[in-house]
Structure 1
Amino acid sequence: MSTANLLRLFLLAAIWGGSFMFMRIAAPVLGPAVLIQYRVLFAALFLGAIALLLKKPLHWRAHWKHYLILGLFNSALPFLLFAFAARTLSASVLAVLNATTPIWGALIGAVWSRHMVSARVVVGLLLGVSGVALLVGFDHVSARPGAGLAIAAVLSASFCYGIASTYTRTAVPVEPFANAHGSMWASTLLVIPALAFFPAPGQATAGIMAAALALGVVCSGIAYLLYFRLIQDVGATSALTVTFISPLFGILWGTLFLQEIVGWYTFAGAAIVILGTALVTGFKPDIGWLKRLARGGAGTA
């Protein structure tokens, strides 16, 4: 992995880790539906501007069903569930629970393909459950009213991401940028019905709107561009490394900017979940870039 791609990887992890902080700031004021409507709309407008600049068509007539399915399971539904949970849970807890996404993806993929899971996957699943139990059991946030429902919402959001990842592996291939762009417009339409059920409980301030704008443009629009560039340059397996790094940034931003209390159980739970994720996905870190760095040749892809 080149130095440039390594920087992109850490930047992406920092951005996605920051999304939980922004949701924690804005969700209690805007409510989940209004916040996510802003998020997907801002992302769609940003990606639409990029598409016009790069002259990248969406081919709506050919792929509208694909965009709707991807928009539902990869954006609209999980975003709403995360925003719902962000009214109660801390950004740190949200970030760690989100790290279970690859576990769900592997299990759904196994069911979809009707393949028996290996012993390694079973151990990884048990570790993932243990890490979540440790985090939830010791974190004071879990004692708040509605915390149980919020935790279920986060795990359901991660489950949705697992559905989306399985679907994209079996669907007709669509250009990655078009996937991101088209799914954001589809999500914008899909979130509209939720506005009737979750009106904004508070009055938006400039700071709240800035958090919503950051969620849309930075944490969705720019993050997608970085992610798909990484997949193109280093492959999906190496790009998956972001799953193991973003929880650490989620914990860091929550501690620095939201004064969240982080205990030993936070890091222990995160480490166990990440280890379980690595076992389930069969992830093997590529340390070739580190060896090249030691030889002074990290700039070579």
Structure 2
Amino acid sequence: MRNQIFGYLLLVLLAAIWGASFLFIKVALGTVTPLTIAAGRIGLAAIVLASVARLAGHGLPPRGAHWPVIIAIALLGNVIPFSLISFGERSIDSSLAAILVSTVPLFTILLAHFLTNDEPLNLQKVIGVAIGLGGIVLLFGPALLLQLGSQAMGQLMIVGGALGYALSTIYSRRLRALPKLQSSAAIMLVASLFIVPAALIVDRPWTLAPDPAAIVSIAILGLVATALAQILVLKILETHKASFLALNNYLVPLFGLLWGMVFLAERPGPQTATALSVILVGVFISQGGASKVRAALRNGRSRRGA
């Protein structure tokens, strides 16, 4: 019972941290460019995770088939989404970005059907994905899509980041043979080798004039929202299944919405709450939530009958 309570506390803490990452990106964008924010975040996280892995006795993974997968995950799960989300938040609210990223499990289910042999789509998944994608359309709004202005482009960038996360989730299954801390550190180190030189060349960050809030925000993004969050993920997975960790899909957008409203005075449009509800219902159905509820009710009735 104590482990279960501790697991839920870690889960809520993780969701609060990940939900706040959109807030800190928005703050940093006041005086720092998107690519430099992503580079600072990844670079700091790489240093921390590599140090923790070394203290735990892990070096770099051996040469072999793991490295192409590590490189792919570094790009799809870190470099591309961190950059796209930072670019996207230049024109949309942080709370809206958090809601759009909550579509990751929908894209994961859809892509897994085509990229894996053991996770085909079934009727329940199709219904859930269709409902969730309908929530995205509701969030965009037909008028916004037709105009395709800066806000629509910002939203599309966030969705692109969510697609990157989904692809990296699928590819990460190929690293099951490696210790999770070792693979996490290697992925972040590789990501830093791509993003840091790119930011130095494109942004020339030494020409920027970041204010203290931006510097603190980038530090929090790297040390807390990326490095510490990854350590929390590994800690949760020590005692709980991946399905338990997946509950974050429902909590992160709620925290993202909350932090944006409280600290940035964001006021989401009237369709935002409806769209979020539709997306979360889609995630719930696509991940077998309805079947689990029915099974739990049947078990409860059978116990009462006994």
Instruction: Confirm or deny that 1:226 pairs with 2:232.
Output: yes
Instruction: Confirm or deny that 1:81 pairs with 2:84.
Output: yes
Number of the residue aligned with 2:31: 29
Among candidates 120, 126, 134, match of residue 124 of structure 2:
120
Letter matched to residue 275 of structure 1: V
Number of the residue aligned with 1:297: none
TM-score (norm 1): 0.87
| 1:6-17 equivalences in 2 (<5 Å) | 6-17=8-19
| 1:50-61 equivalences in 2 (<5 Å) | 50-59=52-61, 61=63
**Structure 1 residues 133 and 22 mapped into 2: Cα distance closer, same or farther (>3 Å)?**
same
Number of the residue aligned with 2:258: 252
Among candidates 131, 139, 152, match of residue 135 of structure 1:
139
Shift of 1:234: 0.8
- Counterparts of 1:173 and 1:26 in 2: how far apart (Å)? 37
Number of the residue aligned with 2:162: 158
DSSP-derived class of the 1:30 partner: coil
| 1:1-301 equivalences in 2 (<5 Å) | 2-59=4-61, 61-62=63-64, 63-113=66-116, 117-137=121-141, 145-171=149-175, 173-192=177-196, 194-195=198-199, 196-198=201-203, 202-283=208-289
DSSP-derived class of the 1:61 partner: coil
Which runs of no fewer than 5 residues in structure 1 stay unpaired? 288-301
Aligned-residue identity in percent: 24
Contact 1:33 1:199 survives alignment (8 Å): no
- Counterparts of 1:94 and 1:260 in 2: how far apart (Å)? 12
Contact 1:31 1:199 survives alignment (8 Å): no
User: Structure 1 residues 186-195 or 129-138, which shifts more?
Assistant: 129-138
Letter matched to residue 247 of structure 1: P
**Structure 1 residues 218 and 138 mapped into 2: Cα distance closer, same or farther (>3 Å)?**
farther
Number of the residue aligned with 1:295: none
**Structure 1 residues 164 and 206 mapped into 2: Cα distance closer, same or farther (>3 Å)?**
same
Which runs of no fewer than 5 residues in structure 2 stay unpaired? 294-306
Letter matched to residue 20 of structure 1: F
Pair member with larger Rg: 2
**Structure 1 residues 36 and 107 mapped into 2: Cα distance closer, same or farther (>3 Å)?**
same
Shift of 1:119: 2.0
**Structure 1 residues 60 and 209 mapped into 2: Cα distance closer, same or farther (>3 Å)?**
farther
Query: What are the Cα deviations for residues 77-105 of structure 1, in whole angstroms up to 9, with x where unaligned?
Result: 11111111011111110000001000111
TM-score (norm 2): 0.85
